[in-house]
Structure 1
Amino acid sequence: MKLGLESLDYGIFLAYFIIVSIYGIWIYKNKGTKSADSKDFFLAEGSLTWWAIGASIIASNISAEQFIGMSGQAFQLGLAISAYELIGAISLVVIAVYFLPMYLKNNIYTMPQFLQVRYNGSLATIMAVFWLFLYILVNLTSIIYLGGISLEKMTGFSFMSCAIFLTIFAVIITLGGMKVIGYTDVIQVVCLVVGGLATTYLALDLLSEKVGDGNGVFEGLRLIKEKADSHLHMIFKPNEFFVHDGKGGQTDAYKQLPGLMMFIIGGQWIVNFNYFGCNQYITQRALGANLSTARNGLLFAAFLKMLMPFIVVLPGLAAYVLFQENADPAIVNGITDNGIVRPDNAYPVLLNILPTGLKGLAFAALTAAIVASLAGKANSVSTIYMLDIHKKFFNKNLSEKQTVLYGRVAIIISFVIALLISPLLKNFGQGFEYIQEYTGFISPGILCIFLLGFFWKKASTGGALAAAILSIPLSALFKYQFEEMPFLNRMGYVFWICVAAHVIISLIQSKGKDNPKAFELKKDWFKVEKSFVAGAVGVFAVFALIYYIFW
């Protein structure tokens, strides 16, 4: 397998880089405010359209963790890993209807601000610090790591060189503010969808050529059905299906996707409701718009989300069959590392066997996904730090210009920290699993606090603080005392314990009375337009059909 890109590939990538850069500069100069406005920098207030909101949400969401990590888990687990994308689409619809009105009608712009308005400042500060650590040490770090791996496999440059390149590119985009991020994300999404689908097409065509009779894409799909039937089920049972763990051993697939229990106990719902509904770098795109525009943006994101299995899961399945059939030494050698099967190598290896020109397109698509996601997350780090920590504790009287300047400094510092520790993630096995598992230490408590804070008027600060404090130690206790428990089930159990603690303490503190800080709830807030209902029905129908066919 030849590492590196040809001149044509670099030319295509350079064209992508120039287009994104020029468009970003144009947006910055023509659509930004003439003065240094912090709301414009952090939120792009009132300027993002529904299609820009939806595209930006997906661009921030779909990154190396999907292209590399989820494709790797498709190699490992099969079609079942699509659950994250499919349930994510359902969650976006639910959040558009029920969560967005609670933010927008109460003028909430950051997640810590919600905690301060609904509970108190101490809880807001505690969680702001948690979020900063989570976004930098888990999210930014893992995306740089997985992105660096993929570019290393494609170009032949060292991991650190690739990671530095991605970081610098992302810094350039991020320093322009949320408006530049939002509108350049439209180009990024076009690149990642077109390039991703092209990679899927060529992976299936390659499978047909190497394993079948060379009859094209549909034969490739048929070969996946014939050669990897075990990888075409959405629901696992315990001890039914053992897979490579990325560390040289085997693991029960049920531990990563625990069948019906991840729905019944609620692990999958917690992952997605927390990620899309209580997550600064996702909700931030919608919080500067009116309710109708924001809802349509989330619905558009849900439709784009349903495309992701075609872009990131099918290539992993094709790579699995090629590997199992020993169809190409380059693929087998690329996926193994010193005798250890590394599922995360599946997608980069496929990219390397693309023809000249298309490899450049795929390179641009992957870079677009990585950079867009890094930019969105870093902007959220800066937003939380400046609005919820720096201006509260260090300097309350910062001018708008100073706020934007310090926000840019925070962006650079967060990237430097993430870049320096990213090589350490090599010891954690599967990248996508790492992100989900360690984010899951805090997400049960966060979702509990937000749900009860939104919809239960007796929810108290003491109850919320108990949920916040319990989430991490309970998760650690379950992880190390019940090692065989799937992490999604662990998240579910921790969530319900946090809910119980929150409710009991709130009832004791409230003495049966509503909390004076409780949000108002009006039925008309949750009414949606007929066009939204039609789109939502379409999303739910596709979800049900996929589970019916591939149960």
Structure 2
Amino acid sequence: MNSIMQAISNSGFKPIDMLILVFYLILLVGLGLFLSRNKDGKEKTANDYFLAGNTLTWWAVGASLIAANISAEQFIGMSGTGFADGIAIAAYEVMAAVTLIVIGKFLLPIMLDRKIFTIPQFLRERYNDGVGLAFSILWLFLYVFVNLTSVAWLGALAIEQILGLQGLAVDICGFTVSVRMLIILFLFVIAGIYSIYGGLASVAWTDVMQVTFLVGGGLITAYVALKEMGVSLGTDAFGAFNKMFTDLTTGANLTDTHFHLIIQESHNASAFANVPGIAAVVGGVWLTNLGYWGFNQYIIQKGLAAKSIDEAKKGLIFAGFLKILIPFIVVIPGICAYYILKGSPESFTSMDLHGHVNVSDDAYPWLIRNFTPTGIKGLSFAALAAAIISSLASMFNSTSTLFTMDIYKKYINKTASDKNLVNCGRLVSISALIIALIAVKPLLGGLDQAFQYIQEYSGFIYPGIITVFGLGLLWKRASSLAAVWTAILTIPMGVLFKVVMPDVAFQFRAGYIFIILITFFVIVSIFDKNSVSAEEVSAEDKERMLRWAKILGGAGVIMIIAAAIVTIGGAMTPDANPDSSIFAYLNDIGFQAFFFFGVLVGQCAIWLYSNAKDKVKDTKALPINLKLFSTTRGYTYGSIGICTIVLLLYILLW
């Protein structure tokens, strides 16, 4: 214990910093337990526990979405990739803001209209029990062995680095336990105290407070780090940012990737493999974002708990604007650490720097430790803790929801009372905590850039998820047979392409797999004879669907032809210089991603045309109701605002 206290003292943390952190944790747990109480002595129903009684307002939905999303994966993993590769990794964030518009308009309204508890529940109702059970098990394994473990591991790694506790251990009853594992246990317990007892209401409403710490503390950390850099450079925070930007984009660093949203393969092949140029705008990033934001239980559950469809839609727009802030909170600090250590180290030789960036994911905690003054360290630490704890709390709740509603109630105790369901949910959360605690070290030890690891291996399942869920929601002929076989093929296809094409960026691989799976799904559905007569579509709805089928189909064909021309042109001039040849340049930024985007856009024309014209439908097809897709003027203006900001960012940082 003496060595631990000495390490914390040497890290620069003062009593005031620790007091800020302790105050935050007490406030969080106290608020969570207060919200967990049974009002008027009434027992919680399953709807109260798993969907907060459908009481969430738009600002609670938006704040809780972001709090659940932003975790150590972003603060540590994304900042680490920013250190290694640059700001291009922000494509995941800014394109997620655009994705939220699509989900808010087309996907979430259908799920809310169907009164969905869980995503696998929708699969059972739309296809069959087998598809629902398969995806329930898949998501449970993903949450426990990928999401919970990665968030806790990265969070503990960050706390270790910030406090200078790397490699330390303590003896407990004759057993030597690493400090990192104790930190993981502490994070699990704090997140579990209120989320396991109180359910989604406690998680969502405490997330409103947590997102304030997260965004506010993160922005302050980035600003103060730049300000401290400015002291050594003889300028202020904005002057430090301007000098860093200039130094990393001109002269000897002209081809440096750190301030370019679009990476050229010839400039940095390893960075391109992680964020493959324009593919980060029109490539597999759409699979990741649609799958994550639209069909990931612990994310979309916040939208499903909204008071109304309108509140849910406004919440997603609010979340979109918050999402655009994230690169400034987590990626810029990673680039700052790179600039200090490698980009212009001579400017900072006079500084007394503590610790090292041994792997890229050390960048953010190293920056906090060295460049945030007393008081701000505590606030930065609280922001990081908010990110970690809010995500863990959401995952505990969603894990319990999936098992309780999709397995326990469906297969184990079909007549379970609300009290039984709530108690089962709590027991499942505790079990998930214990399993994740045991599995965390064997699964995640020794990673350099954990964000890329998570994105790549989550990407193994997203092509199939988008195909099965998306067409199930939107196409009346999507069949159970196609869904079952697509689910079966998804992971083997991901493994096969990883083995056969190991050097191809995983976003391209995911795109190729999607093209194969969507084609397979459509063909099987068309030839499946398990169909019934479809209701006649109104003349007005038919005209609208056919018009959009022509627009989207034409756009998809144009994209595919353009990608083919560029690919063939590049193959005919393999030695051309990207700086002087348009074909070489377009191939250098991954223009072939438009093959995927053309298919993604073009397949919409198939189901729109089918919905308008076909006389048959799948036996469990959802009714076609275009009114669900109508939006308010405020939603339209918000969507335009998000798209405008994203466009400006790409123009400025291309």
TM-score range, shorter chain: over 0.9
Alpha carbons of 1:223 and 1:500: their partners in 2 closer, same or farther (altered >3 Å)? same
Give the number of equivalent residue pairs.
534
- Does residue 24 (structure 1) correspond to residue 127 (structure 2)? The answer is no
Match of 1:313 in 2: 331
Kindly indicate whether residue 620 of structure 2 is the aligned counterpart of residue 517 of structure 1.
yes
Deviations 1:351-384 (A, max 9, x none): 1122121111111110011000011111111100
Establish whether residue 361 from structure 1 lines up as the match of residue 379 from structure 2. Answer: yes
* Alignment-derived partner of residue 485 in structure 2: 466
User: Does the Cα contact within 8 Å between 2:93 and 2:327 map onto a contact in 1?
Assistant: yes
Q: Can you list the C-alpha shifts for 1:390-412, whole angstroms capped at 9, x where unaligned? A: 11222212221121111111111
Q: How does 1:531-550 map to 2 (within 5 A)?
A: 531-550=634-653
Letter of the aligned partner of 1:316 in structure 2? G
What's the counterpart of residue 282 of structure 1? 299
Instruction: Say if 1:174 and 1:379, in contact at 8 Å, map to a contact too.
Output: yes
1:479: which partner in 2?
498
> Which residue matches 2:406?
388
- The answer to whether residue 184 in structure 2 is matched with residue 163 in structure 1 is yes
Separation in 2, partners of 1:372, 1:21: 11
Q: In 1, Cα distance between the equivalents of 2:432 and 2:266? A: 41
The residue number in structure 2 matching 1:174 is: 195
User: What is the CA deviation profile of residues 497-536 of structure 1, one whole-angstrom value per residue up to 9, with x for unaligned ones?
Assistant: 1111111111111477310211112221111111111111
Q: Indicate the larger mover: 372-381 or 509-518.
A: 509-518
Structure 1 window deviating more from structure 2 (398-407 vs 296-305): it is 398-407
Query: Could you list the per-position Cα deviations for residues 39-78 of structure 1 after superposition, in whole angstroms to 9, with x for gaps in the alignment?
Result: 1101112211110110000000000000001111111111
Cα distance in 2, alignment partners of residues 235 and 375 from structure 1:
35
Q: Tell me by how many angstroms 1:180 deviates.
A: 0.5
2:224 to 181, 202, 224: 202
Shift >4 Å, 4+ stretches: 30-33, 328-333
CA distance in 1, matches of 2:386, 2:40: 22
Hey, what's the Cα distance between the residues in 2 that align with 1:32 and 1:474? 53
SS in 2 for 1:467: helix
- Opposite residue 240 of structure 1, the aligned amino acid is H
* Structure 1 letter corresponding to 2:242: R
Shift of residue 128, structure 1, vs aligned partner:
0.5
C-alpha separation in 2, matches of 1:32 and 1:70: 44
Partner in structure 1 of residue 598 of structure 2? none
SS of the residue 2:366 aligns to: helix
Q: In 2 relative to 1, CA 32–298 (structure 1 residues): closer, same or farther, beyond 3 Å?
A: farther
Aligned to 1:191: 213
1:298 to 292, 311, 316: 316
Shift of 1:454: 1.1
Letter in 1 for 2:31: Y
**In 1: Cα distance, 2:144 partner to 2:248 partner:** 37
- For the structure 1 residues 33 and 218, does the alpha-carbon distance in structure 2 shift closer, same or farther, using more than 3 Å as the test? farther
Aligned to 1:429: 448
Instruction: Give the superposition deviation at 1:239.
Output: 3.3
DSSP 3-state at the match of 1:514: strand
Find out whether 1:218 has 2:238 as its counterpart: yes
1:350 and 2:367 matched: yes
Contact 2:32 2:195 in 1 (8 A): no
SS in 2 for 1:546: helix
Distance 1:31 1:232, change over 3 A: farther
State the match for 1:526 in structure 2: 629
- The letter of the residue matching 2:139 is W
Distance 1:77 1:21 in 2: 37
1:4·1:156 contact (CA, 8 Å) conserved in 2? no
Q: Which runs of 5+ in 1 are unaligned?
A: 243-251, 337-341
Q: Percent identity?
A: 41
Alignment partner, residue 99 of structure 2: 91
Equivalent residue in structure 1 for 2:428, among 410, 413, 417: 410
Instruction: Find 2:507's aligned residue among 488, 495, 500.
Output: 488
Counterpart contact for 2:38–2:44, Cα < 8 Å: no
Give the residue type in structure 1 aligned to 2:312. A
SS of equivalent residue, structure 1 residue 239? coil
Structure 2 Cα separation of the partners of residues 193 and 368 of structure 1: 10
Alpha carbons 2:144, 2:435 under 8 Å: kept: yes
* Inter-partner Cα distance in structure 1 for 2:73 and 2:279: 24
Q: Verify the 8 A CA contact 1:188 1:368 in the aligned structure 2.
A: yes
* CA distance in structure 2 between the partners assigned to 1:154 and 1:446 by the alignment: 38
- Does the CA contact (< 8 Å) of 2:195 and 2:396 recur in 1? yes
Aligned match for 2:265, one of 215, 238, 243:
238
Task: Tell me the C-alpha RMSD between the 2 structures.
Answer: 1.7
> Which moved further from structure 2: 516-525 or 314-323?
516-525
Whole-Å Cα distance in 2 between the matches of residues 368 and 181 of structure 1?
A: 12
Does the Cα contact within 8 Å between 1:460 and 1:515 map onto a contact in 2?
yes
Determine which of 112, 117, 126 is the counterpart of 1:109: 117
CA distance in 1, matches of 2:64, 2:284: 26
Q: Secondary structure at the match of 2:37?
A: helix
Structure 2, gaps ≥5 residues long: 1-6, 166-178, 250-255, 532-613
* CA-CA distance at 1:388 after TM superposition: 0.2
SS in 1 for 2:115: coil
Deviation at 1:121, TM superposition (A): 0.4
- Looking at structure 1, the residues matched to 448 and 416 of structure 2 have their Cα atoms a distance apart, in angstroms, of 44
The residue number in structure 2 matching 1:447 is 466
Residues 1:33 and 1:72: Cα distance change in structure 2 (over 3 Å):
farther
User: How far off its partner does 1:216 sit?
Assistant: 1.4
CA contact (8 A) 1:471 1:495 kept: no
Contact 2:66 2:323 in 1 (8 A): yes
Maintained 8 Å contact 2:49/2:200: yes
Partner of 1:122: 130
In the alignment, the residues of structure 1 paired with residue 161 and residue 468 of structure 2 have an alpha-carbon distance, to the nearest angstrom, of 42
Q: Which letter does structure 2 place at the counterpart of 1:219?
A: G
* Structure 2 residue aligned with 1:248: none
Matched residue, 1:268: 285
Does the CA contact (< 8 Å) of 1:138 and 1:438 recur in 2? no
Distance in 1 (CA, whole Å) between partners of 2:126 and 2:187 is: 38
The alpha-carbon deviation at position 300 of structure 1 amounts to 0.6
Alpha carbons of 1:4 and 1:206: their partners in 2 closer, same or farther (altered >3 Å)? closer
Letter of the structure 2 residue corresponding to residue 538 of structure 1? G
Assess, with a 3 A threshold, how the Cα gap between structure 1 residues 275 and 331 changes in structure 2: closer, same or farther: farther
Give SS of 2:617's match.
coil
> Equivalent residues in 2 for 1:68-79 (5 A)?
68-79=76-87
1 CA distance for matches of 2:19 and 2:365? Answer: 20
Partner of 2:175: none
Q: What letter corresponds to residue 243 of structure 2 in structure 1? A: L
Q: Give, in whole Å, the separation in 1 of the partners of 2:145 and 2:353.
A: 32
More relative contact order, 1 or 2 (CA 8 Å, 6+ apart): 1
1:492, 1:263 → 2: CA distance? 12
CA distance in 1, matches of 2:377, 2:299: 30
Distance 1:330 1:257 in 2: 34
